[in-house]
Amino acid sequence: MEKQKGCYYCERDRSFQELLFEVCDLKISKVFFCKDQTLPGRCTIMFRNHYEELYEIPRALRNEFMEDVCVLAQTIQELYGADKINYGIYGDEVRHVHFTICPKYRDKLGWGRPFEMFPEHRVFLTPEQYEAEIERLRDALLKKRGMKE
């Protein structure tokens, strides 16, 4: 299925765009920079088409997706110096296959525990800072995935 009506990730309405800022397309996915930057570098990555479980995605496409996920995780680690990358797929309510890629830091919120989906005191950047972070992330991702010189 390409798109599903009413799906948060397929439709990406205004409320979505206020929380998740589009970075770029990778081979079979789309990357978003989270407005909440309590843990610097936090992103999400969605499979391009609407699937609700990893096992439903045809294997070859799922392998491409995992390559995209790994490129994103490694790029975040390199740019932000995270001590560990956490990978979250929950999706009880937002069913479209997507990972939250959450960098973790020994001296920041939630080390040693699952990352907080909705931290109490969220950290936001200025519009200029978001723009700069997204630009450098996009550039690094596309180069690492072999989609840009």
Interface residues with Zn ion (CB under 5 A) are 4, 7, 9-10, 50, 96
DSSP for 49-61, please give it.
Answer: S--SSGGGS-HHH
Closest to Zn ion by CB, 9 or 32: 9
> In the complex, what is the shortest distance from the CB of residue 1 to Zn ion, in angstroms, rounded to a whole number?
8
> In the complex, what is the shortest distance from the CB of residue 54 to Zn ion, in angstroms, rounded to a whole number?
14
Closest to Zn ion by CB, 7 or 70: 7
Beta bridge partners of 45: 31, 99
Closest to Zn ion by CB, 7 or 123: 7
The b-or-e profile of 42-81 (16+ CB within 10 A means b, else e) is bbbbbbbbbbbeeeebeeeebebbeebbebbbebbbebbe
Closest to Zn ion by CB, 4 or 77: 4
Radius of gyration of the chain (CA): 15
> In the complex, what is the shortest distance from the CB of residue 9 to Zn ion, in angstroms, rounded to a whole number?
5
Residue nearest to Zn ion (CB): 7
Structure tokens at 111: 């080390």
